[in-house]
Amino acid sequence: MSILENAIFPGSAVYRANRDGMLGLIDRMRALEERTRAASAAAKDRFHKRGQLLPRERVALVLDPGAPFIELSTLAGYMFDVSDPDKSVPGGGVIAGIGFVSGIRCMVSANDSGIDAGALQPYGLDKTLRVQELALENKLPYVQLVESAGANLLRYRVEDFVRGGNIFRNLARLSAAGLPVVTVTHGSSTAGGAYQTGLSDYIVMVRGRTRAFLAGPPLLKAATGEIATEEELGGAEMHTQVSGLGDYLAEDDRDALRIAREIMAALEWERPGRASAEYKPPRYDQDELLGIMPMDHKRAVDMKQVIARIVDDSDFTEMAPNYGPATVCGHARIEGQAIGIITNNGPLDPAGANKATHFIQACCQTRTPLLYLNNTTGYMVGKAYEEAGMIKHGSKMIQAVTSANVPQITIYCGASFGAGNYGMCGRGFHPRFCFSWPNAKTAVMGGEQAAETMAIVTESAAARRGKSVEKEKLDAMKAQIVGVFDGQMDVFSTSARVLDDGVIDPRDTRALLSEVLAICREGDARTPQRMQFSVARP
C-alpha cells in the first residue's frame, strides 16, 4: 500500500480563499442550469393544457427512478443565443445524458421543446453530434424523445444544414452497429427532422400530437398547390395505419414513454455487471477538493492531494516519483476499478514526458484505463530544454496518447495550456469522456504571455523599419489580446462551445469516474455478435 499523506489545512487563509472561489463558480454554473430549466418550465401551463408533459418530465419518466444519470453539456451555447450573460439560456435546446431505461444503460436525448418549440439552439448541433459519438464509442442504445420545430430559419447557416446531416448518418451508424435506436415522437418531426424519426429502429407515436412530414401544409401548398391538414399529412394514426412509419400508437406522452420502456425491457441485451470487488473510500473528505485548486492558475498546487480524495483508501502507487517529478504517474482504484492516473505539478519537461509515455504504454499493455487530471501550463521552453529533446519527448507522449488502445478519460482541473493540452489528452485527442472543474482554464497560452509575445514581435518589426511603437498603442494592443484570451479560456466559454462533456462539481468527481469507468468497461466488453434483440420491427 502507498497511502498518500494529507497536506491540506482547511483552516488556512489560502484554503478558505480557494474554497470560496470554487463555491462561487459552482453557484454560477448551477444558476445557469436552473435558468434553462426555468425557461423550459415556463411552458408548463401550455403543455399541460394540451395534455403533454414537459421535456424534463418526459426524461424523468423514461429513466429508471433513483438510478444514476449523467447529464451532459449543460452549458452548451451559453452566450451564443444572446450576448447578454444575464439573459442567455444555455443547453443548446437539447437535454442529453447517460442513464438507465428498464435496467439498460442508454444514451437519452430529448428536444427541449419548452424553449422555442424545440428549435435547435446555438451549439445544439455540436452537442447532439457529441452525444451520438459517445453512444457509438461506448456501445449504448440510443433513446430519443423528439419534438422539434427544426432549424431556426431566422438564424439559417448553410454549414449547419450540411453538418446537420451527420445527425442522420449517426443514427444509421448506431443501428448498423447493433445499437437500437428507440424514438418517441411526441410532437413535430418536420422536413429533414422527419428522418430523426424515420432512421429509428422502434418508433412510438402519440395520437393527436405526433406530426412527421417532409413538408408541412404551408410548404406543401407553396410547392405543389396541394391542400392538406397536418393530421392528414403526418399524424400518428396515418403513420401507424397507412404509411407504416410508426410502430406503436400511444394515447398520450405517459403512454408513449411506457411503451418505450417496455421496448427496452424486451430487448435481449447482454452486458457485464458492475464490478463487485470490495473497496474502501478515500481517507480524506471529498469536500476538501473545493479548497485545493487556486483560482490563479499560476500558483503551484500538489495534485496528489486531489488524487488522495478520489481514489480508494487514498492508495496511490506512484511510478518513478524522482524522475521528472512534476509529472505524476501512478496506479490506483476507484470503487474497485483499476485506473492509471497522469497529472501535473508543473510544466511537462523532457523527463516527465518520457515517463508519461512509458506509463501510457504500460497501461495499454495491461488494459488499464487512463485518467488525465490536467493542471499544466504546457511543455517547458528554453535553450536547455530544446537541447534535452523537449520536442522529441513531447512528440512521443502525444504519439502514445493518440495510439492508446484503452479508454482515456480527461478532467480539466486547472490550467491546460499549449501542447500540454495535447499531451494530456485534451478534447482534440478524443478522450472517451472529458469533463471540467469550474475553475479550469484552456488556451494555447496565458493571455499575458500572448500579449507580451505580440508586443515583442511588434516592436521588433518596427525596429527593423527604423521606427518605434507608441507606448499607448502597445498597451492598448496588449490589453485587447489579454481580453480576447481571457474571454475564451474559462469553462463558461469552453463548455459553451462543447469543448468538454460538461462542468462538474469537484466533489462529484469520484462518483462520476465510477460511473464512467463502468460505462467504458461495459462498452468494451460488448460485441456486435452478442447484440441480439427479442423484439423485431415488422
The CA–CA distances, whole Å, from 520 to 44, 62, 316, 524, 526 equal 37, 23, 22, 6, 10
**Which set of grid coordinates corresponds to residue 126?**
455540436
pLDDT in tens, 446-458: 888 888 888 888 8
Out of 31-35, 96-100, 192-196, 288-292, pick the least confident: 192-196
Sequence length of the chain is 538
pLDDT in tens, 46-76: 999 999 999 999 999 999 999 999 999 999 9
Reported confidence tier of residue 527, pLDDT bands at 50, 70, 90: low
Task: Please state, rounded to an integer, the average pLDDT across all residues of the chain.
Answer: 93
- Nearby residues of 299 by Cβ (< 8 Å), 6 or more positions away: none
Contact predicate 144/182, CB 8 Å? yes
Q: 332 pairs with which residues across the strands? A: 339
- Nearby residues of 313 by Cβ (< 8 Å), 6 or more positions away: 1, 3, 279, 280, 281, 282, 283
- pLDDT for residue 98 is more than 60: yes
Q: Averaged over 306-335, what is the pLDDT?
A: 97
Furthest-apart CA pair in the chain: how many Å? Answer: 82
**Helices 158-176 and 124-137, axial angle in degrees (round to 10):** 20
324, 408, 414: which is closest to 376 by C-alpha? Answer: 414
The residue ranking higher by pLDDT, 160 or 514, is 514
pLDDT at 528 (0 to 100): 52
pLDDT in tens, 7-44: 999 999 999 999 999 999 999 999 999 999 999 999 99
- pLDDT for residue 275 is more than 60: no
Half-sphere exposure of 432 (CA within 13 A, CB side): 23
C-alpha 130/C-alpha 126 separation (Å) is 6
Grid cell 415556463 is found at 42
- pLDDT for residue 536 is more than 60: no
pLDDT at 383 (0 to 100): 95
Reported confidence tier of residue 472, pLDDT bands at 50, 70, 90: confident
Q: Averaged over 213-232, what is the pLDDT?
A: 88
208, 221, 144: which is closest to 181 by C-alpha? Answer: 144
pLDDT at 370 (0 to 100): 98
Q: Averaged over 512-529, what is the pLDDT?
A: 87
pLDDT in tens, 358-417: 999 999 999 999 999 999 999 999 999 999 999 999 999 999 999 999 999 999 999 999
Between β-strands 202-206 and 142-148, what pairing exists: parallel, antiparallel or unpaired?
Answer: unpaired
pLDDT at 534 (0 to 100): 39
368, 378, 312, 379: which is closest to 341 by C-alpha? Answer: 368
Half-sphere exposure of 284 (CA within 13 A, CB side): 23
Most confident of 86-100, 266-280, 517-531: 86-100
Q: What is the rounded (10 degree) CA torsion for 153, 136, 529, 143?
A: -60
Residue 10, SS3 per DSSP = coil
C-alpha 181/C-alpha 301 separation (Å) is 45
- pLDDT for residue 260 is more than 50: yes
**Which set of grid coordinates corresponds to residue 441?**
482554464
- pLDDT for residue 423 is more than 80: yes
pLDDT at 273 (0 to 100): 63
- pLDDT for residue 531 is more than 60: no
- pLDDT for residue 310 is more than 90: yes
pLDDT at 537 (0 to 100): 39
